[in-house]
Structure 1
Amino acid sequence: MAASMAGVLASNVQSKVDSSKILVVGAGGIGCELIKNLVLTGFRDIELIDLDTIDVSNLNRQFLFRKEHVGKSKSQVAKESAQRFNPNAKIVAYHDSIMNPEYKTDFFKQFDIVLNALDNRAARNHVNRMCLAADVPLVESGTAGYLGQVTVIKKGLTECYECQPKPRQKTFPGCTIRNTPSELIHCVVWAKHLFNQLFGEEDPDEDVSPDTQDPELTAEAGESALSSEAKTDGGIERTSTRAWAKECGYSPEKLFNKLFRDDIRYLLSMEKLWKKRRPPTALEWSELPDDPSGNGNTTGVIQDQKVWTVKECVDVFTECLATLKSDLQKQGEDGILVWDKDDTAAMDFVTSVANIRAHIFGIVPKSRFDIKSMAGNIIPAIATTNAIIAGLIVMQAFHILSGNLDKCKTVYLNRQPNPRKKLLVPCLLEKANPKCYVCSAKPEVNLVLNTGKISIKTLEERILKGQLGMVAPDVEIEDGKGTIIISSEEGETEGNAEKMLSDFGIANGSRLKADDFLQNYNIVINIAHVEKLDEEKEFGLVGDLEELRAKQKDEGNGAEAGGGDQKETQASDTNVVESDDDMVILEDDDVAMEKESRGQKRKADSDIEAETAKRSKSVDEANPTETIVL
């Protein structure tokens, strides 16, 4: 009887598989394994979307691609390769971004399930919202080295991708990057900023010149240093780095002496910076130091894992300048270059510049391989991990199609077995967070800022799009007049961009209504005006204003929250797991998912044991005939 029922169940699932329509978003490491699994399992109606083209670095783990495919569309080649496994499969491939306006709610509604294999948080947020709007089940997944995770999101039944806050990428104050680097990552970030200043899109926040507004200096100290330095033979003018480089014809010697001699001398004149620090050592183009570390003795070492000497770095710096200057000229008068870790000249430039600066500040240099990992936010992808996670995605899809959503789990793949000797640890799906600003009945968020210092452009680009994940927002003030300050219609509100929020009467207690028609998403933003914020932030999104006010009162600051308005620079950080081509949910090498609202953390490896042992036990008790439920 049991065997007969199992056969009927299997037949029912296979029937659903045959007739279902699936959307796969992403054709990278997980995506390649997933599309292969789907066609071999019997799924016949599949649509696949990916914006990327195939790079040679993909070939060691994305096994649907070959050397002859380099430069071609990932989605198209994945389709062609997968159809060799099952010629009966109907696969539609889109070489496009899932965030483009043509993929609206109706597009998502045609699918029975959406399976994510993305590579960035913005796209993951967007697909999450589109699936909520279309009421389509979403299977999220991610890998980070030997770690992995799969979960299911269903509107009204589980938490969505944005129900819990994600750890932000590590940031460093601009003065640390420009004046007082103490770690190699500081030098790597500075080198990437220099690339943009010389060849890319110039950003004032990425200035690489010494920072006279460093909080450790008084204004007089910075001005005095500048005045003193201007009187020397090595005097430097604080002009555009790009303009200065063009004037000197991108001369390697002149650029080197400005960046690594004159600017360093200028920093040394800021004596207060070096009272408790090791001061840097200025370099001279004609007097490069010998290599005291033995880095030059690298017989038998793979080229990318060799640590270059200072002289080798200067040679590479010279070669890269010539190549990048030529590439820039090919782009025309207003052309720019975009930094890419897989572009040889761009990556060599960052490696050489970062290591030269590291030498100056007494920081241990690293190989090109190590710096590429830091500069590209890369955690090496493991093909086996991708394969395991792709298999788990398909198993979750089986449960959804068979109507057994209660059998769906969040499954963690750990580096080492837990106390029950299991690498795969299933946990019950979490309920939706009632205060989630995406999937709650009436999404609201509290925005703390100085309305006289935040522009409409900053509100749109850094807050609505950057922090709240909107794509094409429209914003009006709930003032009884419905004043529109941001419109998704091109040209309609461009004149507002540089105006401050206060110019529109936005003050403490004001409410803004923001809509994104593409995502079928709207949110109310409550404005809380303060003069300054803690931790040198320009703005903050908080869940409970009363808690914030209580904290401010306890600190005796009234409406002001202390701090400064110093800019921070986002760093490449290998602990923030957003890999180069694989969608990732795990946000830290040792953290599987953080549950801040409950003051609880589920951790990977050894730290996950207590929580997952409890959750796994509850899963086993609910399904006593199953050893592990996926």
Structure 2
Amino acid sequence: MSVILFYEDVQLATFQEAPCDRVCRRTEDRFQLLLRQLPTDFVSRNSCQRPYTFSICDTSGFSDYVRGGIVSQVKMAKKLSFKSLKASLVDPDILTTDFAKFEHPAQLHVAFQALHEFVKKNCRLPRPRHQADADELVNLTKGVNEKSSPCSRLELLDEGLVRKLAYVAAGDLAPVNAFIGGVAAQEVMKSCTGKFTPIMQWLYFDSLETLPEENEASLTAETCGFRNCRYDGQIAVFGAAMQERLSKLKYFLVGAGAIGCELLKNFAMIGLACGDGGELTVTDMDTIEKSNLNRQFLFRPWDVTKMKSETAAAAVKQMNPNMRVTAHQNRVGPDTEKVYDDDFFEALDGVANALDNVDARMYMDRRCVYYRKPLLESGTLGTKGNVQVVIPFLTESYSSSQDPPEKSIPICTLKNFPNAIEHTLQWARDEFEGLFKQPAENVNQYIQDSKFMERTLKLPGAQPLEVLEAAFKSLVTERPKTWEDCVTWARNHWQIQYNNNIRQLLHNFPPDQVTTSGTPFWSGPKRCPHPLEFDVMNNLHMDYVVAAANLFAQTYGIKGSRDTSHTIEILKGVKVPIFTPKSGVKIHVSDQDLQNSNASVDDHRLEELKTTLPSLEALSTFRMYPIEFEKDDDTNFHMDFIVAASNLRAENYDIPPADRHKSKLIAGKIIPAIATTTAAVVGLVCLELYKIAFGHAKLESFKNGFMNLALPFFGFSEPIAAPRHTYYDKEWTLWDRFEVTGVKPSGEEMTLKQFLDYFKNEHKLEITMLSQGVSMLYSFFMPAAKLKERIEQPMTEIVTKVSKKKIGKHVKALVFELCCNDENDEDVEVPYVRYTIR
């Protein structure tokens, strides 16, 4: 890796490897370094360069150095040397993927050479579960091992492993093909592009734990023999009975995007839900977009705007006409629990997630824990991928552990001190929300919600004043009536953001200002900005005005215009107010200063706004139209505004601009997805599906996986066991619960008193608090009058009254959470209650 140092656009020097974090701030493949001291006669002060230092050449030919300067990191090509096939067969470099099988790769390296000899000798692969063929392969492997060089010869040959290779060598599993195919395809991409690090040099992967845990003897030459059907390759590995079991599975696939398409393809290939009794339900509420086509391979250009689930289901039906698949267009969540109710989940054999957000994942995780269904969870991020398997009564759930929150950009960096294009793009996204969505939503709430003012005044800090000021602007001072008014607003807003605010910032912190320690204020990550002057001949300036004016017009239902020449004519008549920087304006330098500041609320102004806002009677027929950001429609001005707003701010701070494509990726928060990673991840998911379908019950049989194809790195480990808790001598996990039948055969339902007595008598637990969702049904500190009212009421009646919601007819049971004391009056943690009502 090399870094090139420029001064006034002239290359000064380069240095090797990455500087340490003390010297520079690194962001992905670029970083910026603001030089603090650079004498004009500076020459390398270190005759011996260390890994994390760099030097610059003689600068005496340049003008006197003042401050600043930027170092840009340039990744240099790395030359890799590979052994020839002949040499690497004798002395292999093997990438380990699973340290639980540390000995397998070396054993398989010898065994596969023997397998090639077997094929050369017999013109075929070993027959499935054929003992004589397995014996022959073992003998051939011994011969290969004996001929190996002393450095690579195995001291002890694992004959059991070699026999398993012989038993399954004639097999052909779609999930293994998907995993190996994804990895191999990424290696081809590396070769073509020179990007990322190739595998050095052999990679062996096995999933032998997928075979039956105990009764492997049931797999014989007869049960695994070829049947001249499309599943022969799978039957050769797992037998006909297992294939029959796959065909009868009932599965729920949530999502039909990149991972969803790959899962559907694999399901069709392995024959899932392709027999009597089998059923696959796939749901996705999204439509197909053009940007999906590069990785969601079940879709074609003519499918754009169609529903993903329906199109994907139709595509896999063509792959395997026997597949029984039903497509839905529902979002999974509380709103669709009438569709995905008790009957639906209880009939399932498992759930596979193909989701793109954590909230939906956690919701499906809760449903699977409640209904005690296996969950296959996976995700990708560029060349990274992960697989997690959740097994009832065995593993922890998806929600048991959470990733750390993503790092956010400091507010003060966004507002006043950006130094990267990511900062200006996030600022532009915030501008979009603050100009074209939030004000319109607040105005509509003011008009429609009688308690809007009451709720707004309860907001903390200066928020009430900010909300009402924005509403006042939208309804009074900045309310447009014509397209010309919208253009005037856009021009004035341009002036505020790219000229006035920058001049005010420089008034507070002049370019030559120094801190109390004598260090220049505009140093380190702080770039000294400069104001822009509006020019109708500047395309970027006009792009901003046209986009902003059209979006502003949309929020008021005013017809916009794309006629730039007409907009220029309007701009000629716009009088921009003269701005003079003011003293006493507080600008926070850091988020800590912002948090520590006690922003005082102007109570007089607050009262003034409450009385001067237009009356609701005057606004009875008025409404605004909030705009939801949509990145993929090139005609809606959304990305036009984002690109222009970001690049103008970047120009303020001398940050290199970003083109539309890069801006869309960052501002749209597009998670990079590539087909290679998706294929490899889904291959691993379906290997776990085999284990679930075949009834594996040992924790060590399952594998959670993480990989990064770029490095390359592969890591597999057994899932984390479900944490165990105890009360008295009873042990329980998140998969356990109390089962209480609330309604007797006579139709009489348990009262609250009977419910409390049941736990006291049957489980020796005194309930101190009882809740259902966010509704508190009972507590030991409840007023006596309220307790007397509830104590003899049926449980469902209490739930209905407290929650103020009717219990749907589709609901078979309710979930109650308990706080309990044991016989020693000690607080104990206990499972939840499933209270059956139907």
Structure-2-length-normalised TM-score: 0.45
Q: How does 1:274-423 map to 2 (within 5 A)?
A: 275=514, 276-277=521-522, 278-286=527-535, 311-325=538-552, 327-330=554-557, 333-344=623-634, 345-406=637-698, 407-416=701-710
Q: Relative to 1, partners in 2 of residues 1:324 and 1:238: Cα closer, same or farther, differing over 3 Å?
A: closer
Contact 1:412 1:426 in 2 (8 A): yes
Provide the secondary structure at the position in 2 that maps to 1:59. Answer: helix
Q: 1:176 to 1:518 in 2, by over 3 A?
A: farther
Judging changes above 3 Å, is the alpha-carbon distance between structure 1 residues 363 and 519 closer, same or farther for their aligned structure 2 residues?
A: farther
Structure 2 matches for 1:94-493, cutoff 5 A? 94-99=328-333, 100-102=336-338, 103-202=340-439, 242=474, 245-247=478-480, 248-251=485-488, 252-271=490-509, 275=514, 276-277=521-522, 278-286=527-535, 311-325=538-552, 327-330=554-557, 333-344=623-634, 345-406=637-698, 407-416=701-710, 424-433=714-723, 439=734, 473-474=774-775, 478=779, 480-481=781-782
Structure 1 CA distance, aligned partners of 2:628 and 2:802? 27
* 1:3-37 deviation per Cα after TM superposition (whole angstroms, max 9, x unaligned): 67253642222111111101111000010111121
SS at 2:486 equivalent: coil
Q: CA deviation at 1:416?
A: 5.0
Q: Is 14-23 or 63-72 further displaced after alignment?
A: 63-72
| Partner SS state of residue 253, structure 2 | strand
SS at the partner of 1:46?
strand
Q: Report how far residue 150 of structure 1 moved.
A: 1.4
* DSSP-derived class of the 1:93 partner: strand
Cα offsets for 1:429-460 (capped at 9, x unmatched): 1112459xx94879xxxxxxxxxxxxxxxxxx
In the alignment, is the contact (CA less than 8 A) between 1:148 and 1:413 conserved in 2?
yes
Compared with structure 1, are the counterparts of its residues 521 and 198 closer, same or farther at alpha carbon in structure 2 (3 Å cutoff)? Answer: farther
Output the CA distance in 1 between the equivalents of 2:331 and 2:435. Answer: 29
What residue identity is the alignment partner of 2:540? C
Shift of the 524–270 alpha-carbon distance from structure 1 to 2, 3 Å rule, reads: farther
- Matched residue type, 1:5: L
Q: Deviations over 1:326-366 (max 9, x none)?
A: 54455983221101222322122112101111221233322
* Aligned-pair Cα RMSD in Å: 4.0
1:33 has 2:258 as partner: no
Could you say what secondary structure the match of 2:260 adopts?
Answer: helix
Q: Does 1:92 align with 2:386?
A: no
Number of matched pairs: 418
Give 1 or 2 for the bigger CA radius of gyration: 2
Quick one: structure 1 residues 85 and 154, their matched pair in 2 at CA, closer, same or farther if it must change by over 3 Å?
same
The residue type paired with residue 316 of structure 1 is D
User: Separation in 2 of the partners of 1:186 and 1:240?
Assistant: 29
Go from structure 1 to structure 2 and tell me whether the alpha carbon gap of 1:270 and 1:191 turns closer, same or farther (over 3 Å shift).
Answer: same
Distance 1:121 1:241 in 2: 37
Q: What is the CA deviation profile of residues 42-61 of structure 1, one whole-angstrom value per residue up to 9, with x for unaligned ones?
A: 12221001121111110111
Structure-2 separation of matches of 1:477 and 1:202 = 42
- SS of aligned partner of 2:496: helix
What residue number does 1:304 align with? Answer: none
The 1:203/1:264 distance shift into structure 2, 3 A limit, reads farther
Residues 416 and 336 from structure 1, CA distance in 2 versus in 1: closer, same or farther, beyond 3 angstroms?
Answer: closer
Mapped to 2, the partners of 1:362 and 1:157 lie a distance apart of 56
**Any conservation in 2 of the 1:112–1:137 contact (CA below 8 Å)?**
yes
CA distance in 1, matches of 2:404, 2:661: 26
* Aligned-residue offset at 1:521: 6.4
Q: Counterparts of 1:337 and 1:488 in 2: how far apart (Å)?
A: 39
Equivalences for residues 580-619 of structure 1 within 5 A: none
* Aligned pairs (5 A) from 1:467-616: 473-474=774-775, 478=779, 480-481=781-782
Given that 1:164 and 1:433 are in contact with CA atoms closer than 8 Å, whether structure 2 keeps it comes out as: no
Amino acid at match of 1:324: L
**Cα separation, partners in 2 of 1:285 and 1:475, compared to 1, 3 Å:** farther
C-alpha distance 493-190 of structure 1, shift in aligned 2 (>3 A): farther
Distance 1:434 1:182, change over 3 A: farther
Aligned twin of 2:219? 5
Partner-residue secondary structure (3-state), 1:162: helix
Whether contact under 8 Å (2:396, 2:723) holds in the other structure is yes
Gaps of 5+ in 1: 206-236, 289-310, 443-470, 495-516, 526-630
Whichever residue aligns with residue 320 of structure 2, its letter is N
Instruction: Give the CA deviation at 1:70.
Output: 1.3
Q: Do the aligned partners of 1:434 and 1:440 also contact (CA within 8 Å) in 2? A: no
1:565-605 CA-to-partner distances (Å, cap 9, x unmatched) read xxxxxxxxxxxxxxxxxxxxxxxxxxxxxxxxxxxxxxxxx
SS of 1:180's partner is coil
State the alpha-carbon separation in 2 of the partners of residues 339 and 475 from structure 1: 39
Q: Indicate if the aligned counterparts of 1:197 and 1:241 stay in contact, CA closer than 8 A.
A: no
The answer on whether the counterparts of 2:441 and 2:624 sit within 8 Å (CA) in structure 1 is no
In structure 2, what is the Cα distance between the partners aligned to 1:260 and 1:489? 56
For 1:441 and 1:355, how far apart are their aligned partners in 2? 56
SS in 1 for 2:438: coil
1:163–1:439 Cα contact (<8 Å) kept: no
Tell me which residue corresponds to 1:78: 312
Aligned to 1:400, what secondary structure does the other structure show?
helix
Q: Could you give the per-residue CA deviations for residues 176-197 of structure 1, whole angstroms, max 9, x where no partner exists?
A: 3223333332222221121122
8 Å Cα contact 1:30-1:390 kept in structure 2: yes
Compared CA separation, residues 241 and 398, structure 1 to 2 (3 A): farther
One-letter code aligned to 2:366: R
1:468-499 per-position Cα deviation (integer Å, ceiling 9, x unaligned):
xxx97446795622899xx99899789xxxxx
Distance 2:403 2:344 in 1: 28
What's 1:578 paired with? none
Higher relative contact order (CA 8 A, sep 6+): 1
Counterparts of 2:817 and 2:389, CA distance in 1: 24
**Cα distance change on mapping 1:324 and 1:264 into 2, 3 Å:** same
Report how far residue 78 of structure 1 moved: 0.9
